């Protein structure tokens, strides 16, 4: 089983709908992240969380919200989906206790979201 699991893997939704992407991890890491990937733009950070009570905006947080339900779970919500949110979304984790490797990130398999 994957250490970082994203659900769903693929989703097609209509403009204006609310949708939630979920991420769970079995690595015991304290830090979790949500990224989106668009062709030609690499990955961009949407939100990140250092622990259950610590949520921070990334580069492109507008139109998104997150919830850290537990140390192992971090969900991303699109309150009212729009077509330009069509992208590949990745969840990632890292462990602040790993010294010089504390910033090394481990990624889920991605969720391909299409908003029509």
Partner 1 sequence: KQEVTQIPAALSVPEGENLVLNCSFTDSAIYNLQWFRQDPGKGLTSLLLIQSSQREQTSGRLNASLDKSSGRSTLYIAASQPGDSATYLCAVRPVDTGGFKTIFGAGTRLFVKA
Cα separation of 116 and 100, whole Å?
A: 43
Please give the structure tokens belonging to residue 70.
């537990």
Q: Burial, 91: exposed, middle or buried (Cβ in 10 Å; 0-12, 13-18, 19+)?
A: buried
Q: Tell whether residue 102 is a contact of partner 1 (CB under 8 A).
A: yes
Residue placing its CB nearer to partner 1 in the complex, 18 or 57: 57
Please give the structure tokens belonging to residue 111.
């969720």
- 98: alpha, beta or left? (left if phi > 0; alpha if psi -120 to 50): alpha
Q: Tell whether residue 103 is a contact of partner 1 (CB under 8 A).
A: yes
Among 14, 109, 114, 116, binds partner 1 (CB under 8 A): 109
Q: Tell whether residue 52 is a contact of partner 1 (CB under 8 A).
A: no
Site string for partner 1, 62-101 (x = CB under 8 A): ----------------------------x-x-x-x---xx
Q: Tell whether residue 31 is a contact of partner 1 (CB under 8 A).
A: yes
């Amino acid at each position: 089983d994957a250490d970082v699991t994203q659900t769903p893997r693929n989703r097609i939704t209509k403009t204006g709908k609310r949708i939630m992407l979920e991420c769970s991890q079995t690595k015991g890491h304290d830090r979790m992240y949500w990224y989106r990937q668009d062709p030609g733009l690499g990955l961009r950070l949407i939100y990140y969380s250092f622990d259950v009570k610590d949520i921070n905006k990334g580069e492109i947080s507008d139109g998104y919200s997150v919830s850290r339900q537990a140390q192992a779970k971090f969900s991303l919500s699109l309150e009212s989906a729009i077509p330009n949110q069509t992208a590949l979304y990745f969840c990632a984790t890292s462990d602040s206790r790993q010294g010089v490797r504390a910033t090394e990130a481990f990624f889920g398999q991605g969720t391909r979201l299409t908003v029509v």
